[in-house]
Chains A and B, each alone.
Chain A
């Protein structure tokens, strides 16, 4: 096989760096010293202290069934697995559950998300970088280990990289009896996790890439690799003309109200008070949405209002107090239901430039209502023009701003 250099990214020199040639090299040597420890195959695990099974169940309320099923599907150490497809709506804990399970099992895995790797090339190179234990730093110009654009190159490079990793994992087995196992990856099977798979459908080459990903397991024919797909949409939304081998599905249902209560109660300084607050508020709000991220942004402001009549936030409310707090909060519940998705940005609700003039007349006390970050005038113009450009069709823009009026005037000239 021919040797290929890793792709070099050409960089423009700024005036500062070209006038001070010593600056770059000093920075490089500093960085190089910090990151000089090379990665090993033992770095392919989660990294932190592995957690026990009970901790795993406790940290994910309402997900006991899914965790048990996933552990059964992954199986004991060194058991081969056919591809798994984990799906469920957004914000149901799919990614975090999978990662914590791998922390518990301490098995090596390679994680890549199709959200950050937004094109096939970046996806392939990210996976290969992790498998080839390559770190991007200033020294190599933040470039990947291998350049890989096409699925055919990816399969060849992946086979090579996996072969190396699996050999080193097998070497681990020989040494595992003597050394302690905390830092070591367990097992000889490496798992590839593809997150946010539904975004691949919107890529340009999705008609090629998506069947390729689903058929990857059959193409590779390596029992030492396990594939796990995580998606927000169910498997029937991935449809191809020519079919594909279906992976084993695992569904993460929405949290029930009790689970939501358990999740929202975590890290609260006064659980009893918050529990009585949730008694009042959880049911009406969960008629609108049951997603954890939306509820958890809506509740803090209301909780503050709920606690307004209390002088001491650490007390344990009895029935009478609960009723009093409820009646205090009640007039605010209905309007807040309609504001549930609004995220407060500090005190300021209105950032329009026009209001600023009125404010100045009202005096210095309104200074706290100003925008929290400062935008230059040109930035404000850019923002407005970007908004307008995204609303207007391209032809209108061309006819207004293009020198030829947008159309090819030559053809219009009558003879």
Chain B
């Protein structure tokens, strides 16, 4: 049992590391030309020189933009404790101007221990924000606005962006606006008047290179020697792990993974699954954990769905495939039933069922999204008359039929004949 609780402790440690983005990105923060140092330089210089600034952090999702920003802000808060106020907004939540100003006012109140009233109107909140910015500027405090999902703020009239960037133009205010977006053309979305007030600084965040990835794997997975776990267990664990990481098969797994998606998030998801599959009895990670994690990442949902279809549902799919070849325009459930009947007449299959049974099977297929209706007219027509189409390709259907447990031979022949 002692071994098991050690393994559990190790697993909890690794899992908390994987769920904590700050831990992961501290690795890349020390080199001088990394985004971390550049960002830190931009913000700290505007704090010390009491000037306004704006910067955009761009990069695909899961490349650590917010994580690096959090690290920089933590460092700056430690250095210049009283000189910085941070306001965080998110485009998913606060894209509406009313919401955004309310949130800004709320966060300013929390920061400065003021009473916040939820009944304040839009004008009250905006006057409050302008007044606070002026006061902070006079007191030489910098307000840092973090706008997550920046492209969602750039929809509509961009009033919030304009008022923020405009307030920064006055001499008394000291503000930094940091926009974070996964769209690489986020600055093209800005209106002319907003763009002119925006300093065109952009920091690009990219997925890691192979060497960085290797360093990252070791950084995350190797247990620290100064933790509360016993020394020899840690040494064993690390030795076994380094052995696995250096092996050929592991490199192949990483290669397969990077071929589809190189971002940090993808890697972390893979590592999380691998750590979860760690065998708690032995207490060490093995290559099988990584292989199992790879198979959870590489899923083929349509194929799984096809394998779980009943035989009648497979018949309906094959009928639809044949109809798509014959009349590519549109077809509905009635035409599928005609095709079904013609197959039964020509081949005398044993699986000929009544219309209401086929309709239910048809509805099952709609539910698991192997087929879908084409029009958006809603519920005005009954399901038998609405045009439908297949959502899987011929190749996928073929694969599904081949890997199905008990597919009738006739269906395979029918599909092969067409394809």
Which A residues lie at the B interface, using CB under 8 A?
A: 1-2, 4, 72-73, 75-76, 78-82, 87, 89-90, 150-152, 155-156, 208, 211-212, 215, 218-219, 223, 232-237, 242-246, 248-251, 253-254, 256, 286-291, 294, 337-342, 390, 393
Contacts and interface: CB of A to CB of B under 8 A. Distances in A.
B369 A82 contact: no
A72 B276 contact: yes
Contacts, number: 144
B346 to A, nearest CB: 20
Residues of B contacting A: mostly:
helix
A79 B93 contact: no
A155 B356 CA distance: 47
Contacts of B116: 1-2
Interface of B: 8, 11-12, 15-16, 18-20, 61-62, 66, 90, 92-94, 99, 102-103, 106, 115-119, 149, 151-152, 182-183, 265, 268-269, 272-273, 276-277, 280, 296, 299, 301-302, 304-305, 307-308, 310-312, 351, 353-354, 356-357, 360-361, 364, 367-369, 379-380, 405
Contact of B367 (A73, A89, A256, A390): A89
Contacts of B265: 245-246
B367 A90 contact: yes
Contacts of A76: 8, 11-12, 280
Identify which of B151, B276, B356 gathers the most chain A CB atoms within 10 Å of its CB. Answer: B276
B15 A81 contact: yes
B183 A242 contact: yes
Top 10 closest pairs, chain A to chain B, by CB: A234-B301, A254-B308, A338-B354, A152-B93, A80-B19, A76-B8, A287-B311, A79-B12, A79-B15, A2-B117
A82 B272 contact: yes
B361 A242 contact: no
Contacts of B115: 1-2
Given A76-B11, A150-B93, A242-B149, 16 more contacts: A75-B15, A79-B12, A80-B15, A87-B301, A89-B367, A152-B94, A232-B368, A233-B367, A242-B182, A256-B405, A288-B357, A288-B361, A289-B312, A289-B361, A337-B357, A339-B354
A341 B364 CA distance: 12
A88 to B, nearest CB: 8
Contacts of A339: 354
Identify which of A152, A155, A237, A289 gathers the most chain B CB atoms within 10 Å of its CB. Answer: A152
Nearest to A392: B380
A1 B116 CA distance: 5
B308 A232 contact: no
B336 to A, nearest CB: 16
20 contacts: A76-B12, A79-B11, A80-B15, A81-B15, A90-B367, A218-B66, A223-B19, A234-B302, A236-B301, A237-B369, A245-B265, A246-B269, A248-B273, A253-B304, A288-B353, A291-B364, A337-B357, A338-B354, A342-B356, A393-B380
Contacts of B301: 87, 234-236, 251
Contact of A152 (B103, B310, B367, B380): B103
A264 to B, nearest CB: 16
B182 A243 contact: yes
Contacts of B62: 245
A212 B95 CA distance: 12
A316 B273 CA distance: 49
B99 A150 contact: yes
A235 B302 CA distance: 10
Contacts of B312: 287-289
Contacts of B19: 80-82, 223
Nearest to A285: B310
Contacts of B117: 2
Contact of B277 (A72, A208, A250, A286): A72
A45 to B, nearest CB: 21
Nearest to B304: A251
Given A2-B115, A72-B277, A249-B296, A212 B360 contact: no
Contacts of B356: 338, 341-342
Given A2-B115, A234-B304, A338 B353 contact: yes
Contacts of A244: 61
Identify which of A89, A235, A288 gathers the most chain B CB atoms within 10 Å of its CB. Answer: A288
Contacts of B182: 242-243
Nearest to B13: A79
Contacts of A80: 15-16, 19-20
Contacts of B379: 390
Contacts of B269: 82, 246, 248
Given A80-B15, A80-B16, A290 B310 contact: yes
